[in-house]
């Protein structure tokens, strides 16, 4: 997994954003953003978003993760999965 920060405090006050690149078969790992909401926008590739249920994710689509939800992003494709996330800050 490759991760690059886009914006975060102290540049921003209420958001954190980054770009994630997952190789085929790679995953972020289950985690929660606690009391924060998250949006994921898939730039290329496809995979699945697991947040209680498994949702297929694909290029050009955006996905919302409510606060406190345990989730994971998994690349199920044959090519890299690249996405940008934005998390609200407390």
**Over the stretch 51-90, which tens digit does the pLDDT of each residue have?**
989 999 999 999 999 999 999 999 999 999 999 999 998 6
Q: What is the pLDDT of residue 25?
A: 97
Listed by start position, the domains of the chain span 2-88
According to DSSP, the residues that pair with 39 across neighbouring strands are 64, 86
Cα separation, 80 vs 73, whole angstroms: 13
Looking at residue 71, the DSSP 8-state letter turns out to be: B
Cα separation, 5 vs 45, whole angstroms: 20
pLDDT surpassing 80 at residue 11: yes
**Quick one: average pLDDT of 30-44?**
95
**Quick one: average pLDDT of 32-38?**
92
Cα separation, 25 vs 76, whole angstroms: 6
Q: Is the CATH code 2.60.120.10 the one for domain 2-88?
A: yes
According to DSSP, the residues that pair with 83 across neighbouring strands are 20, 42
According to DSSP, the residues that pair with 57 across neighbouring strands are 47
- Mean pLDDT, the chain, rounded, equals 94
């Amino acid at each position: 997994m490759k991760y690059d920060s886009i914006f975060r405090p102290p540049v921003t006050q209420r958001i954190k954003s980054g770009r994630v690149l997952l190789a085929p078969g790679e995953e972020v790992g289950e985690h929660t953003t606690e009391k924060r909401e998250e949006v994921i926008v898939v730039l290329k590739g496809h995979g699945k978003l697991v947040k209680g249920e498994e949702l297929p994710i694909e290029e050009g689509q955006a996905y919302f993760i409510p606060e406190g939800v345990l989730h994971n992003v998994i690349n199920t494709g044959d090519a890299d999965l690249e996405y940008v996330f934005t998390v609200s800050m407390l």
